[in-house]
Amino acid sequence: MSLINATQFLPTFYLIGFPGLEAIQHWILIPFCLMYLVAILGNCFILFIIKTNTHLHTPMYYLLSLLALNDLGLSVSTLPTTVVTFWLGSQDICFGTCQFQMFCIHSFSFMESAVLLIMSFDRFVAICCPLQYSVIVTGHRVTWAGLAIILRGPVALLPIVLLLQAFPYCGQRILSHSFCLHQDVIRLACADTTFNNLYGLSLVVFTVVLDLVFIALSYALILHSVMGLPSREERLRAFQTCTSHLSAVLVFFVPMVGLSLVHRFGKHASPVVHLLMANIYLFVPPMLNPIIYSIKTKEIRRATVKLMVQLKWSSRHEG
């Protein structure tokens, strides 16, 4: 019977929106589209500002560019299936497409964690070792760090993503989201998935969790250094240089921790709760990061004002 119900070679999966809300799925798509619009335009704007202002061609803003590119990749990874599921009502997705999407989503998530870690190291050196900053943090080292960030997630993910092809899949093969995630697909396999489960858990612990530990350690050292400054104004000014990055860290890791807690302790909670937490984790950071850096970073604000003045002057001149 299990052989009859199992599809071993390239099965078709079925995505879902919000159960019980199928009648208003077209309206649910509107906030998703707004988040995609803000995320894509906002991160493109950050990249444009950094590219067109030569005084921003420094290691700190190279890392910010890498974060913006990663957020663009994460947004684009979930965009096609989310729009198709909510707008067109087309829920089926072939195995190869699902496999590629989950590879992209998880890769960009791991990259985001790594970028935030490298940015925390940049802030640590800038505050704790300001005189050695230009020697320690160089463009060459940032380039190598960026390459390591790009390769770490995909290389580590490749084995368990490819191994999914070896499993038979039973039942209706209905996924829990409007996009493919490894933990969602692997639960549908009617075979021993111990390796994938242990490998996936180890991957999360030795990448994302370890990144979070090192980020926390960096900020503990930063706080210790800042509190050692003689005046309140100096302490406030030093810590303000970290507010953008600290906000980005919270925006990324708080939903991730919340999603983990829901999966661990909220097994009997409504499926809508799980869906909402997963969507917040994937959609909110790419949307908020460009807003945070545009508001909190003085150089980005100045470059934005300069661009607006130039555009206003150009429109008046042409008129």
Q: Could you give all domains of the chain from N- to C-terminal order, each with its CATH number?
A: 13-304 (1.20.1070.10)
Cα distance between residue 180 and residue 294, in whole Å? 31
At 315, list the tokens.
Answer: 């429109």
At 135, list the tokens.
Answer: 């020697």
Cα distance between residue 170 and residue 186, in whole Å? 11
SS3 92: strand
Least confident of 123-132, 197-206, 259-268: 259-268
What helix, strand, coil percent values describe the chain, rounded to 5? 80, 5, 15
**Is the CB of residue 124 less than 8 Å from the CB of residue 222?**
yes
Does residue 162 have a pLDDT over 80? yes
**Is the CB of residue 237 less than 8 Å from the CB of residue 271?**
no
Residue found under tokens 């470059």: 303
Instruction: Report pLDDT for 140.
Output: 86
Cα distance between residue 171 and residue 54, in whole Å? 57
List the Cα angle 149/244/278 in 5-degree steps: 65
Please, which residues have CB within 8 angstroms of residue 283's CB and are 6 or more apart in sequence? 32, 35, 36, 39, 75, 78
DSSP 189: B
Instruction: Report pLDDT for 6.
Output: 44
Least confident of 70-74, 214-218, 278-282: 278-282
Cα distance between residue 114 and residue 78, in whole Å? 20
Cα distance between residue 139 and residue 134, in whole Å? 9
Cα distance between residue 153 and residue 203, in whole Å? 9
**Is this structure's pTM higher than 0.85?**
yes
Is the CA virtual torsion 112, 118, 123, 126 positive or negative? Answer: negative
Q: Which residues of 286-301 are buried (b: 16+ CB within 10 A; e: fewer)?
A: bbbbbebbbebbebbe
Residue 93, beta-bridge partner list:
13
Residue 2's pLDDT band, with cuts at 50, 70 and 90, is: very low
**Is the CB of residue 275 less than 8 Å from the CB of residue 25?**
no
Residue 319's pLDDT band, with cuts at 50, 70 and 90, is: low
Beta-sheet pairing, 12-14 with 92-94: antiparallel
Residue 171's pLDDT band, with cuts at 50, 70 and 90, is: confident
Instruction: Report pLDDT for 1.
Output: 39
Cα distance between residue 120 and residue 122, in whole Å? 5
Residue 8's pLDDT band, with cuts at 50, 70 and 90, is: very low
